[in-house]
Chain A
Amino acid sequence: MSGKGMNLTLKIWRQKDAKSKGKMETYKVNDISEHMSFLEMMDVLNEQLIAEGQEPVAFDHDCREGICGMCSMYINGEAHGPDRGVTTCQLHMRMFKDGDTITIEPFRAAAFPVIKDLVVDRTSFERIQQAGGYISVNTSGNTQDANAIPISKHAADEAMDAATCIGCGACVATCKNSSAMLFVGAKVSQYALLPQGQVEAADRVKNMVAQMDLEGFGNCTNTGACEVECPKGISLDNIARMNRELIKASI
């Protein structure tokens, strides 16, 4: 494999901490295997930087298998890079060519402030979840078995599709308005479609939308960019459903 790998130029956003002004820095990595994931390529870069006595590039990651939603990065102008339906940890280096220059930036939004380098603070999403992204269940030990509640296959499938949202924030990062409506739409929908979600439905959508606005996310213009860049293929239909839910809850 050695000698056949890719040589790449990386332009990466470096920012010391939340208060500092950041800037783009250029690095070179050599002999990158096409079988590597994007994060493994970043590991190679960081090993190299450490060996040279430089500060490694900080980036978020955890599961490295596309389920936790921690990894982020805006790669060559797209959230999670040029591939579709994948997170950055699932992005293969074979999507790039030898000699390429790759631009790597943090997810940008006023509600996602940079903590360091490529790491951004996405706790605004958690506060939206806390505002209503749950159902209140008595867990005293005599909880009703969920399987005892009849749910149509169609509703179950749609709720499951919505629930696959991993809260990564790619939708916000990619939206020209930094709107979080795909994320909130998915979180509202996963309950709105199920009988268990009905009791608190009106409060849920009102409170989650209010928190979303409070966090300073923008307004949806229906460009559809979020749906294209979402690693989990969350549908724009979820935004329409959230809008319907809010209209219903308000009148």
Chain B
Amino acid sequence: MSGFLKSSIGRKVAMALSAFFLMFFLLQHFAINMLSVFSPETFNEVSYFMGNNPLVQYGLQPVLLFGVVFHFVMGFILELKNKKAQGVAYAKNNGAANSSWVSRNMIYTGVAILLFMIFHFNDFWVPEIVEKYVEGKSQVGKDFHAHVVHMFENPIRVGVYVLAFVFLALHLMHGFTSAFQSVGGTAGRKKTLQNIGKAYSIIIPLGFVIIAIYHHFNH
């Protein structure tokens, strides 16, 4: 079993499993954010729950952090190994003749997402943690919705978020179906799942973009 994780294929399987987890998390994140548009009260209640329920805080949150870190660290490891496997660079290489741009540039779209995540954590996650665990303040009755709206007043922040979601869409455009192949399935090569993948990688990021723009214009 330990040999499996050290093998090229084992790494790919682990990469795909972390990716499945992230894609599932993204759905959940998306659903909660949607509440901020349709029902600020419910959004506040759910935000309080997610931020203060011990099971979420001490159970799910560490798993999520591990999943994110694992995914990008493994992404970098694979990229380094792949770079080493290459010989002398071709004088002429026609990649577009046989593969999609998104599939050849996962590391670049991934790094863009990573940079965004640092920015995003600094926007929302760090202040939350400081408030709860450093200052020890109670979040009972906190208006999370107002904080979100306030954050998106800044057009530069909205721009950064929109751009980041374009990169996320590009990453998922290849990643969604690729993950199925990595775990040994052929379903990702069939029309049905390719369409679901396309829908997921467009609708979810687009939804996040709409939420950001909505709050920018509705404060």
Q: Which residues in B have their C-beta under 8 angstroms from that of A111? A: 85
* Distance A236 CA – B7 CA, assembled complex (angstroms): 19
Q: Which residues of A contact B106 (CB under 8 A)?
A: 221
Q: Is the CB of A213 within 8 A of B7?
A: yes
Residue of B nearest to A216 (CB): B85
**Given the known A-B contacts A219-B82, A223-B100, are A246 and B4 also in contact in the complex, defined by CB atoms under 8 Å?**
yes
**Chain B positions within 8 Å of A242 at CB level:** 9
Complex Cα–Cα for A56 and B84 (A) = 31
Contact present for A176 and B104 (CB under 8 Å):
yes
Given contacts A105-B90, A177-B82, contact A77 B3 (CB under 8 A): no
> How many Å from the CB of A18 to the closest CB on chain B?
12
User: Does A155 lie at the interface of the complex (its beta carbon under 8 Å from any beta carbon of B)?
Assistant: no
Q: Are B86 and A110 in contact (CB under 8 A)?
A: yes
Question: Which B residues lie within 8 Å of A224 (CB)?
Answer: 98-100, 103
Chain B residues lying within 8 Å of A113, measured Cβ to Cβ, are 87
Residue of B nearest to A229 (CB): B98
Residue pair A219, B103 in contact (C-beta under 8 Å): no
* Contact present for B104 and A219 (CB under 8 Å): no
Residues of chain A within 8 A of B99, CB atoms compared: 176, 223-225, 228
Asked whether A244 and B184 contact (CB < 8 A) given A76-B92, A221-B106, A250-B3, the answer is yes
Distance from B73 Cβ to chain A, minimum over Cβ atoms (Å): 14
Task: Tell me whether A228 and B98 are in contact (CB under 8 A).
Answer: yes
Name the interface residues of B101-122: CB closer than 8 Å to any CB of A: 103-104, 106
User: Which residues A217-251 have CB closer than 8 A to chain B?
Assistant: 217-225, 228-229, 236-237, 239-244, 246-247, 250-251
Q: Contacts A76-B92, A177-B85, A237-B186 given: A243-B13 contact, CB under 8 Å?
A: yes
When distances are taken between beta carbons in the complex, the residues of chain B under 8 Å from A114 are 87-88
Assess whether B156 is interfacial by the CB under 8 Å rule. no
A212 close to B182 (CB less than 8 A): no
Report yes or no: B97 in contact with A222, Cβ–Cβ below 8 A.
no
Per-residue CB proximity of A177-192 to B under 8 Å, as 1/0? 1110100000000000
For the complex formed, measure the closest distance between the CB of A79 and the CB atoms of chain B, giving whole angstroms.
9
- Asked whether, in the complex, the Cβ of B9 is within 8 Å of the Cβ of A228, the reply is no
B81 interface residue (CB < 8 Å to A): yes
Whether B98 contacts A78 by the Cβ 8 Å rule is yes
| Residues on the B chain within 8 Å of A177, using CB | 82, 85-86
Report whether A77 and B94 are in contact in the complex, using a CB–CB cutoff of 8 Å.
yes
CA distance A112 to B182 in the complex (A): 25
Measured between alpha carbons, how far is A212 from B11 in the docked complex, in Å?
14
- For residue B161, give the distance in angstroms from its CB to the closest CB of chain A: 27
Assess whether B4 is in contact with A228, with CB atoms less than 8 Å apart.
no
Q: Which residue of A lies closest to B97 (CB)?
A: A78
Chain A contacts for B8, CB-based, 8 A: 179, 181, 209, 212-213, 217-220
A179 touching B97 in the complex, CB below 8 Å, given contacts A103-B92, A242-B9, A246-B10: no
Residue from the list A78, A108, A176 in contact with B88, Cβ < 8 A: A108
Inter-chain contact A77/B97, CB cutoff 8 Å: yes
A199 within 8 A of B: no
> Is B95 in contact with chain A by the CB < 8 A criterion?
yes
A67, chain B: closest CB distance, angstroms? 23
Closest chain A residue to B102 by CB distance?
A223
Q: Evaluate contact between A223 and B185: CB separation under 8 angstroms.
A: no
Question: A112–B87 contact, CB under 8 A?
Answer: yes
Q: Which residues of the other chain, A, contact B86 by a CB distance below 8 angstroms?
A: 108-110, 176-178, 218
**A219-B94 contact, Cβ under 8 Å, with A112-B87, A250-B3:** no
Q: Enumerate chain A residues within 8 angstroms of B182, measured Cβ to Cβ.
A: 220, 222, 243
Residues of chain B within 8 A (CB-CB) of A229 are 98
Chain A 95-145 residues near chain B, CB threshold 8 A: 103, 105, 108-114
Known: A77-B94, A105-B91, A218-B86. A223 touches B9 (CB 8 A): no
Residues of B in contact with A (beta carbons under 8 Å apart): 1, 3-4, 7-13, 78, 81-82, 84-95, 97-100, 103-104, 106, 174, 177-178, 181-186, 189
Q: Could you show 6 A-B contacts with beta carbons less than 8 Å apart?
A: A206-B3, A219-B12, A223-B98, A244-B184, A247-B184, A251-B1
4 closest Cβ pairs, A-B complex: A77-B94, A218-B85, A244-B184, A177-B82
